[in-house]
Structure 1
Amino acid sequence: MATPRKLNVTFVEGDLPGRTGRLSAFVAQTPTQPDVRALSELLTDPRLSLYRESLLSELFASDLLATAWRTGYPPLEIARPDVDFQGYDFVITCAAITRHVQVKASAGKAAEVDVHRALVSKPAGCVVLILPTVSTDGTRIELSYRYFGTTAALDLAGFKPARNTLRSLGADRKPYFKERLMHVTVAVAKFTKATTMFGLLENLFDKPPTVT
């Protein structure tokens, strides 16, 4: 139980009719729970990469559904593949438009993003780059987004193959970075500028219809 703290309250003319003076009272003061860990650690610790990926996917889906509803889009349908081998993380449908979306995330200043080649075979395949930051008061994660794609089929021609981040040994015993045959590297500069979820929704599904 919190230790009571003595509080002096001074009544002035008008607070209580006909009463002036000083009242001593005791109030229970509940201590503020301090943060044990900073959210910035969650966004940058390499040991938490899978945990962070799952968290950001859930935050993205929540932001997508809530913002679409608030801004007048028809209710969205979201599906996720049981097996991740075609490059997309979400299938998102709004009315008659369906998008296959690969989601990437960067809490730093990544210059390039690896994009799956199979996206070119999907209807209006695209890539969303999530940019997570910690709010100024340190209590929540805020998201902005960059977008790569069009409403037509995704064109990945001309992009260089992506490479593994871990070295392999060649026949000559020299280390090299093996190519990832199903991925290409796309410069972040090819994405749209950072925007809110509403801006991302306009990229995915155009402007919302007029709500009556």
Structure 2
Amino acid sequence: MSSTEHSRLSSYREALLEHLFAGEVMRHIWLSGIRRLEVLKPQVDDGGYDLVLETPSVVRHIQLKATFRGSSVRRFTVNAGLARKPSGCVICMHFEEKTLNLGPFFWFGGAPNEPLPDLSAFQVAKHTKGNAQGIKALRPNLRVVPLSAFEPVANIPLLAARLFGQEGV
């Protein structure tokens, strides 16, 4: 698939990557002995999260970001509403463009049952398109978080430990 097709069909690719991600986490959690991992999807995506993963003791509201390996993308918009959710986090996953293999990952979040780190120091996002006067209005509920604020995580087992602590090991 070409880069153009990836862009043109990005909504389909995003859904596929989300399913692959959830499946990989579910597989790891299952093999580690935890047999209950619920995967929940919001009906509307304005709450700041794309996915909820719940084990018996940890609920994670996750905003997923994806970019292909080698991409020049170095900043991501994060919905401030995510900070109002228990254990909110943002996971940026890199993927191989030809195979869609996932990893490495980048983590922005706290420990299990801890809130998202404070977003107030990050720049307020602007609309990508200007109004009739060419002014790009601020989007007060979105913050621009640089990739440098994320912590690299090499693989799913290490990511599951970030998500669920000892339960995810």
Length-normalised TM-score, structure 1: 0.70
Match of 1:162 in 2: 125
Match of 1:117 in 2: 80
Partner amino acid for 2:115?
A: A
Deviations 1:13-60 (A, max 9, x none): xxxxxxxxxxxxxxxxxxxxxxxxx3xx26863211111111111111
| CA 1:187–1:146: 2 relative to 1, 3 Å | same
The answer to whether the 8 A contact 1:43-1:52 is kept is no
- Root mean square deviation, CA, Å: 2.0
Q: Secondary structure at the match of 2:137?
A: strand
Deviations 1:151-181 (A, max 9, x none): 21112121110112223233xxxx2322222
Match of 1:14 in 2: none
Highest CA radius of gyration, 1 or 2? 1
Is the aligned partner of 1:143 residue 2:93?
Answer: no
Match of 1:103 in 2: 64
1:179 to 108, 131, 138: 138
The answer to whether the 8 A contact 2:32-2:168 is kept is no
The answer to whether the 8 A contact 2:62-2:88 is kept is yes
Unaligned runs of 5+ residues in structure 1 are: 1-37
Unaligned runs of 5+ residues in structure 2 are: none
Q: Counting strand residues as a fraction of each chain, which structure ranks higher?
A: 1
Q: Distance in 1 between matches of 2:77 and 2:12?
A: 20
Q: Distance in 1 between matches of 2:4 and 2:136?
A: 26
2:95 to 120, 132, 138: 132
Match of 1:153 in 2: 115
Is the aligned partner of 1:54 residue 2:36?
Answer: no
The answer to whether the 8 A contact 1:42-1:48 is kept is no
Q: Number of residues paired by the alignment?
A: 163
Structure number with greater CO (CA < 8 Å, separation at least 6) is 2
Aligned-pair distance for 1:72? 3.3
Q: Distance in 2 between matches of 1:188 and 1:202?
A: 20
User: Which consecutive aligned stretches of 4+ in structure 1 deviate over 6 angstroms post-superposition?
Assistant: none
Match of 2:28 in 1: 67
Q: Distance in 1 between matches of 2:141 and 2:168?
A: 37
| CA 1:203–1:209: 2 relative to 1, 3 Å | closer
The answer to whether the 8 A contact 2:157-2:168 is kept is no
